Amino acid sequence: MTRTHHLHPFTALTAAVGAAVVTTAAASWPLSAAVAVAAAILAVRGGVAGRVLSAAAVILVPLCLSLLVLHGLFFPEGHTVLAEWGPARVTAEGLEFALELGTRTTACVLVFLLFSFTVSVPDLLSALAARRIPPQFGFVLASTLTLLPAVAGRLDRIRQAQEARGMVVRGGLLSRMGTLRLQMVPLVLALMDDAGSRAQALDARGFGNAGPRTSYRDVADSTAQRRFRAAALVLTAAAVVARLVVSWPAGVTR
Amino acid sequence: MSKPALTVPAPGQAAGRSRRLLEIAGAAAIAATYVFLVLTQPADIANGPASFSALVALGGFLLGAVLLIIAVLPVLPTSTLVLIPVALVLNVVLGQLMGSTGLPFYIDAIGTVLIGVLAGPAAGAATGALSSIVWSFFNPTVLPFAAGAALIGFLAGMAARWGLFRRFYFVPIAGFVTGIIAGVISAPIAAFVFGGTSGLGTGAIVSAFRAMGDTLLAAITKQALISDPMDKAIVFTIAALLAYALPRRTTFQFPFVRRFRVLAGKSPAAPDA
């Protein structure tokens, strides 16, 4: 699909984590905005812009609005008052704080969403299995990602079946809770029953056994990518250490 | 290669001890991070966007969550492990269903609590932390709250172990207490990493406390003390209702439920008196 397909999943993950951590450590809104824009450009070039940006908008719009209202209107630490209505004071410091945190969260969310929407999950799983990550982690990740769409379909079928038996999704709170129960109990029961049979099938295939795992998939890795990952980790660690040293609490409280 | 292993080797005593140490280290990392953040919270957040505290909060809480996962995950029986994806899906889907009723609560831990009740505190903690990590694939902002989610699963398991789920009226109380603890622990994440909460209702409560001159951490902690206990009481109640609605055959297949008599009533194998 894109060039990200040639990237080892860990390279993309390291880059995403590194970008997020460095952005957090740097604490400067121009850098955060630049990272966010870069992530958006990469998403457009990767052909996942629609999904990344819509998922990010759902998360970020309420958060940023809330930050703007909270710090824009109520920031007792602020000194430069721009406007005042009763208890609410618009201060320059408050707006700057909202801008800093808003851009920082935006950058981190975009970077991680770009990673999760471009990574090939099978590649990621075999890369995880090749490392000393417990195989159970890979199972939980893969199983959840495949279960989510299946459950949405199942819930739809349960709703239809209950509606065929006379369930009406309208009315007051109590009747709403009643219809909720009619849908939740069959869903939970069916999912747990499925899980039980899945556990038996997995155990029969030796899933619970200790020891190393092998994988059919071989994820291509290269020396350049290994070097990039090492460099990114060193850079990230340096950024964290620099931030910790610069603003160690003794220096903050003065 | 003198004796080929035909059976699965039993986990040794040393392995068990190191796992216990990892669990303790994980819990200690979370607790120490919280204490450190509260003691060193920047007196004047206007000086910068709390970058130092954000890094400490992220690092400490995620380290704790990862240690807990490493300690617990490999020893979970397969029957419990396959429930973790189910729990995560339930967290999401039931949360959305509850949202469709128009109630002003952010109910997103039903599956975690259910696993804690059925499979014990360790499984609950692992489920909570893993839920956050896997869910962050779609919403990265839940990742920093992994430690809080692990705590909710752990406390749900402890409540079940102490028999609080045997009587219906104890359940909301257990949820209320869990909400207080989990809300207070999660407050530094909301304050230092995100600088606020994302909901309009919660944001209004934080604004009110800020208007009275509280620091950001204090305002968000007070907001958490208002919304979280109620939210978790509802979550615990729903999880209990689900556990009661499940057939005995399903619930009593969990060793934890049998051993600690988590739910009132006899095992289905026992003859009815």
Q: Which residue has the tokens 């609590």?
A: B113
CB contact under 8 A, B194 and A105: yes
Assign A110 a pLDDT band (cuts: 50, 70, 90).
very high
Q: Alpha-carbon distance B192 to B217, whole Å?
A: 8
Higher-confidence residue of A6 and B210: namely B210
Q: B47-88, pLDDT tens digit by residue?
A: 555 678 888 888 899 999 999 888 888 888 888 889 999 998
- Given its phi and psi angles, is residue B266 left (phi above 0), alpha (psi -120 to 50 degrees) or beta? beta
Whole-number pLDDT of residue A58: 83
Furthest-apart CA atoms within chain A: distance in Å = 69
A201 touching B (Cβ < 8 Å):
no
Q: Alpha-carbon distance A8 to A11, whole Å?
A: 5
Q: A228-246, pLDDT tens digit by residue?
A: 999 999 999 999 898 888 8
Per CB-CB distance under 8 Å, the chain B contacts of A189 are: 245-247, 250
Q: What is the DSSP string of B50-109?
A: -HHHHHHHHHHHHHHHHHHHHHHGGGS-HHHHTHHHHHHHHHHHHHHHHHHTT-S-----
Q: What is the mean pLDDT of each run of 10 residues along chain B (273 residues)?
A: 52 70 89 86 60 86 90 86 89 72 71 92 91 87 89 94 90 94 88 78 82 85 88 91 86 86 70 44
Whole-number pLDDT of residue B12: 53
Q: Alpha-carbon distance B90 to B235, whole Å?
A: 12
Whole-number pLDDT of residue A39: 93
Q: Alpha-carbon distance A146 to B187, whole Å?
A: 32
Tokens standing for residue B56:
């400490």
Cα distance from N-terminal residue to C-terminal residue, chain B: 55
What interface predicted TM-score (ipTM) does this complex get? 0.85
Contacts 24+ apart (CB under 8 A), B97-100: B97/A155, B97/A180, B97/A183, B97/A184, B98/A180, B98/B238
The four Cα atoms B68, B219, B190, A149 give a dihedral, to 10 degrees, of: 90
In a mutational test of the A interface, the residue from B19, B68, B86, B249 whose CB has the highest number of chain A CBs within 10 Å is B86
Q: Which of A108, A248, A249 sits opposite B140 (nearest CB)?
A: A108
Q: Alpha-carbon distance A47 to B96, whole Å?
A: 29
Phi and psi for A19 in degrees, rounded to 5?
Answer: -60, -45
Distance from CA of A184 to the nearest CA of B (A): 7
Is B38:B188 a contact under the CB 8 Å cutoff?
A: yes
Q: Which residue has the tokens 């990010």?
A: A56
Sort A169 into a burial class: Cβ within 10 Å, 0-12 / 13-18 / 19+: middle
Percent of chain A scored above 70 by pLDDT? Answer: 94
Per CB-CB distance under 8 Å, the chain A contacts of B214 are: 76
Reduced to 3 states (helix: H, G, I; strand: E, B; else coil), residue A144 is: helix
CB contact under 8 A, A73 and B82: no
Higher-confidence residue of B53 and A109: namely A109
Higher-confidence residue of A5 and A21: namely A21
Sort A6 into a burial class: Cβ within 10 Å, 0-12 / 13-18 / 19+: exposed
Q: A22-70, pLDDT tens digit by residue?
A: 998 888 889 999 999 999 999 999 888 888 998 898 888 888 888 888 8
Q: Where are the domains of chain A?
A: 3-119, 134-204
Q: Which of A139, A152, A252 sits opposite B81 (nearest CB)?
A: A139
Q: Which residue type occupies B111?
A: G
> Which residues 167-196 in chain A show a CB within 8 A of chain B?
173, 176-177, 180-181, 183-185, 187-189, 191-196
Reduced to 3 states (helix: H, G, I; strand: E, B; else coil), residue B48 is: coil
Q: Which CATH fold would you assign to the domain B17-33+49-256?
A: Arp2/3 complex 21 kDa subunit ARPC3 (1.10.1760)
Reduced to 3 states (helix: H, G, I; strand: E, B; else coil), residue B128 is: helix
A141 touching B (Cβ < 8 Å):
yes
Q: A62-97, pLDDT tens digit by residue?
A: 888 888 888 888 887 777 777 777 777 788 888 888
Whole-number pLDDT of residue B46: 52
Name residue A83's beta-bridge partners: A90
- Is A149 a residue whose pLDDT tops 50? yes
Angle (deg, nearest 10), helices A29-46 and A92-118: 30
Q: Alpha-carbon distance A198 to B83, whole Å?
A: 10
Percent of chain A scored above 90 by pLDDT? Answer: 25
Q: What is the DSSP string of B2-45?
A: -S---SPPPPPHHHHHHHHHHHHHHHHHHHHHHHHHHHT--S-G
Q: Alpha-carbon distance A195 to B165, whole Å?
A: 23
Whole-number pLDDT of residue A111: 94
- Is A252 a residue whose pLDDT tops 50? no
Whole-number pLDDT of residue B43: 59
Per CB-CB distance under 8 Å, the chain A contacts of B198 are: 59, 62-63, 66
Q: Running DSSP on this structure, what letter comes out for residue A171?
A: S
